[in-house]
Amino acid sequence: MKTLHHLTFVAALVFLLLTNSVSRAADHNTGPWDLTDLSKAPTVEWIDQSEPIRSLYYSGENYQGKKTRVFAYYGIPEGASADNKKPAMVLVHGGGGAAFKEWVEIWVKRGYVAIAMDLAGKGEGRKVLPDGGPDQTHKEKFTDLAGGVKTAWTYHAVANILRAVSLLQNQPEVDPEKIGMTGISWGGYLTSLASGLDPRLKVTVPVYGCGFLHENSTWLKGFEALGPKLAAQWVKNFDPSSYLQQAQMPMLFVNGANDFAYPLDSYQKTYQAVKGPRTLCVTVRMPHGHSPGWAPREIGLFVDSVLINGKTLIKIGEVSRNEKQVAVNFQSEMPIKSAALHYTTDTGPWKDRLWKSADAAVKDNSASATLPALKDVTWFFTITDERGATVSSEHQTITHP
């Protein structure tokens, strides 16, 4: 349960957010970023152009009065050229991560041009660059905000992933109208921000990361340490909740039911805020990490369905309940392999709840199951097609019989 101290802090934060807010109903909220400038192709310095997976630097945001460079890996699939343009993906690492060459290779094998950049001021082998941007510790993410919005890590990270989109658009082998993005953990958070900021992105997949972090996340104490005024400034400028209502592209949201950092309540508010089509893939006992975050097959299949006309993931329809009997309608281009009901009767922190699973009966385009109780139960369905691709319904909670 949240403490009284935390609830008092949240009340003060909400008051500041409301009193300082400016209506942007008719305008695209760009926050502190100059999107016109960021849409220009950055200066590129190729380290290696001879291999399918290449390395490079590109120009970043000025930091502490100095110019910066961003290190990245860039991959080109076989056969890509100016006469045979390919779709492309921006790959955004999370906390403790770096530019992952392996991640680029995964997407190149899938037929995509891909770029994975370092967002912690480091180069190849994670060596600190003398002209790199800010690191990604708690200090750069939160407390450095006291020195101004443009000193914070998020400001630079978002600018540099949007520059990566511009870099891709300027490459002869890339179809500039078929660029997507996926990110893991803090990278998923950044992908959520970019989804609301950059309409050039045609598909996005945030993994774990979400918005509404000031309402519930592993960083609540960090927001309290900032104090209400700086916390309100952070939320206004850097929480995805300030931008998600502008997201129009198809989005796939991937998370674990017990994620320690990004709980399901904040996650649900995040995906409900977007205006474009959304698909969910919530998994019981999904581990948190970079390799587990890029491993789900649903990510590639979803991106394929948008950018290269691949078969779509299952589409979840109406969810219904009659006492303990629950059901979900769906549509699928592929035969269905299985369906399951997942539920918990715990009411504590999301990360500590024990989830149980039971088979659901599938008939035609519907799956059904029986809840174990009608009080203090949270539940959702998952449905899996013959490719092993799983989607989930939104979780629902029954608090009273």
pLDDT tens digits for 361-371?
A: 999 999 999 99
The two structure tokens encoding residue 165: 């989109």
Every domain of the chain with CATH number 3.40.50.1820 lies at 4-21+29-307
User: Where does the pLDDT of residue 19 fall: very low under 50, low under 70, confident under 90, or very high at 90 and above?
Assistant: very low
At 52 the pLDDT is 85
Mean pLDDT of 298-312: 97
pLDDT > 90: percent of the chain:
90
CA dist 400 and 386 (Å) reads 37
400 pLDDT band, cuts 50/70/90, is confident
* pLDDT surpasses 70 at 7: no
* Residue 40 pLDDT class (50, 70, 90 cuts): very high
Contact 134, 118 (CB under 8 A): no
Q: In which residue are the tokens 């199951």 written?
A: 369
- Find the mean pLDDT for residues 329-338: 98
pLDDT digits 0-9 by tens, 76-115: 999 999 999 999 999 999 999 999 999 999 999 999 999 9
pLDDT at 27: 77
- CATH top-level class of 4-21+29-307: alpha beta
Model pLDDT for residues 226-242, shown as the tens digit of each residue? 999 999 999 999 999 99
Q: Is the pLDDT of residue 137 over 70?
A: yes
Residue 13: predicted pLDDT: 58
Locate 335 and state its tokens: 């035969």
* Lowest mean per-residue pLDDT among 5-19, 55-69, 198-212: 5-19
User: Quick one: pLDDT band at residue 21, thresholds 50, 70, 90?
Assistant: very low
- Do 326 and 341 meet the contact criterion of CB atoms below 8 Å apart? yes
Specify the amino acid at residue 243.
Y
Long-range CB contact pairs, 236-239, < 8 A, 24+:
236/17, 236/20, 236/21, 236/31, 237/31, 237/32, 237/149, 237/152, 237/154, 237/155, 238/31, 238/152, 238/154, 238/155, 238/193, 239/211, 239/212, 239/213, 239/214
pLDDT of amino acid 24: 43
Residue 212 in this model has a pLDDT that exceeds 80: yes
pLDDT tens sequence across 171-200: 999 999 999 999 999 999 999 999 999 999
Check residue 8 and give its pLDDT. 55
CA distances from residue 54 to 19, 74, 75, 94, 141 in whole angstroms, order as listed: 49, 5, 6, 21, 29
Residue 334 CA to residue 314 CA, distance in Å, equals 8
CA dihedral sign, ordered 34, 273, 284, 337: negative
State the Cα–Cα distance between residues 246 and 249, nearest whole angstrom: 9
Closest to 181 measured CA to CA, from 37, 282, 166, 265: 166
- Is the pLDDT assigned to residue 25 strictly greater than 70? no
Considering the chain, tell me which residue range(s) the CATH 2.60.40.10 domain(s) occupy. Answer: 315-398
pTM of model > 0.75: yes
Average pLDDT, the chain: 94
The CB density around residue 46, as the number of other CB atoms within 10 Å, is: 12
Up-side HSE of residue 361: CA atoms within 13 Å toward CB? 7
Show the tokens assigned to 297. Answer: 């097959």
Indicate if the pLDDT at residue 9 is higher than 80: no
pLDDT at 260 over 90: yes
Query: Structurally, what CATH architecture does the domain formed by 315-398 represent?
Result: Sandwich (2.60)
